[in-house]
Structure 1
Amino acid sequence: MRSESAPAAGTTAAPASDARTGTLAAAAATPAGRVARARAVVARYVTLTKPRVIELLLVTTIPTMILAQEGWPSLGLVLATLVGGATAAGSANVLNCYIDRDIDRVMNRTRRRPTATGEISPRAALTFGLVLGVVSLTWLWFLVNPVSSMLTAGAILIYVVGYTMILKRRTPQNIVWGGAAGCMPVLIGWSAVTGTVGWPAVLLFGVIFFWTPPHYWPLSMKFRRDYAAAGVPMLPVVAQDTKVAREMIGYTLAMIACSLLLVPAAGMTWVYAVLATALGVWFLVLCVRLLRRAEDPARGKLRAMSVFHASITYLTLLSVAVSVDVFLPL
């Protein structure tokens, strides 16, 4: 006796996969399905802008604006600067994904980026990145000032051309000089308030410039196999951990010096001086500990990522110290 679930004579049962495909297609044709699909597309484009990187860049912009204003800048100016800066950073990051899509496919950390998976075509990514760049520069020119717009153009060029196209695949010092793009938000924030670039902004630029290698190299230590497979000569790929750690200590000392030079240059109080010193010494101790463990593995695991996360904490707290100090009595 034939089972009730069996197909009738002369007919062919539809494969289960076809049934599922039909169900998904039907769901996508509904209003809710179209909304979900649109959200997925938007999410892919947002991913290309690297929102977490943008957040870190903006953390340094507001304190610089407060320092330049010696108080609270107007809310409209702050919002205009942040929107323009975030859009510009998004442009640079999208163009970075467009250029690096070949090596992104090789690296486990980046192989899910939409430009690496093909979910966003190279042409669409290039167009998106260029449009964001034009919008950001136009926005800053008319809603902030031309100086901030030109500095932002410089930041995009340093990251896209200087770092991504020229330095990244050629030299272990790529992140040192290419990292200058990440220092530009403090110059942009200062110029947004004053229309010029002052010495305090230059020193804050120095803080972030020297902070960048000890921030990024621990991440490169963790993903050195990825970078090696992609042919990217990050310093941890081509040098021993001891050499990397020693250079991190050197950059950290320079970073601390710049943070303390801000005291006379910007008239900071003793509160900032104490906090900047304490934060700098704390981060320096972590770098020294990394060196000790690199020299003698018996001391324990390298724990490079703990230094990476600590670097973010350091920059965030130093930025808070700059902001708060402006409102303290001399």
Structure 2
Amino acid sequence: MGADTRLEDPAPGGLGEVDEPAFTGLAQRHRRELHVHCYRMLGSFEDAEDTVQETFLRAWRRRETFAGRSTFRAWLYRIATNACLDLLARCRPEPATGGEVRWLQPYPDRLLDELPAGDADAPEAAAVARETIELAYVVAVQHLAPRPRAVLILRDVLGWPAKDVAELLGDSVNSVNSALQRARAGMRDHLPAERQDWTGGEPDARTRDLVRRFTDASVTVDIPAITAMLRDDVRFAMPPTPGVHVGRDAVIADWVADGFAEMTGLRAVPTAVNRQPAAAFYHWREQENAYLPLTIDVLRITGGRITEVVIFGADRFASLGLPDRLPASA
């Protein structure tokens, strides 16, 4: 207990003599919230995982630089943010455009639940706040240039003071405040107009019923029933496939053109990602005598209608903790 207390709030230079297992144990306490932070910055679950690993490696190599001027947690956030900025400069020098994010991946609620809810004002609560983890928010963030993106997340999500963000980025407080205003304006351009009406807390009975009816209609390929649940201006995307379809007729037409109307042998498993309802669909494969992963449909619901559908492929099932097959008797 004494060792943990000493490591949780190390004195200046207090990490220099810490061995690697003890350091790893301390860093691992913050893994999930750092992963969520990197996910917001990058929009990709896998890239976030790699960046957290890079963060821990950098932290271990630079442990002597921790001088105790901030908390160990804040020190890790600084390293993680810079690791994200390095990855973006190397792999994605230009932000997303046109409302689509081809590298977007879902974040499973089961992992978000690893962080305790605790006090609403606690850092962990901010890390998984519903309105800043939903796909629409993550997509909007990806349309910002990397440094304004970092400023927005650190200031508006994590609540860092402007002077701390300025120190991290090597900028002035005035520059940080200016970047924050530009980032907020950019977010308003890309967030849904009805953001104030987003569902808060746990889904209500009406929302759960709509998700159930959508799932049932998808399994039976009831196109008219699905159409009736979509709002006129519904949006649909299927990363990494390019394109965003807007409007009920356009979305249904795309699904029909892709052969959805002729599908048979579907099963569904309810799930949740990014604090949104979702359904994982499996397709019967005779040669395997089982239902195999097909797609994950993530829904955004507003006012009793489906306003957005983001579909991810079978490669995301494992990261979401979903079964790799369903038996014939399922």
**TM-score relative to the length of structure 1:** 0.31
**Bigger share in strand:** 2
**Bigger share in helix:** 1
> Which is higher, the Rg of structure 1 or of structure 2?
1
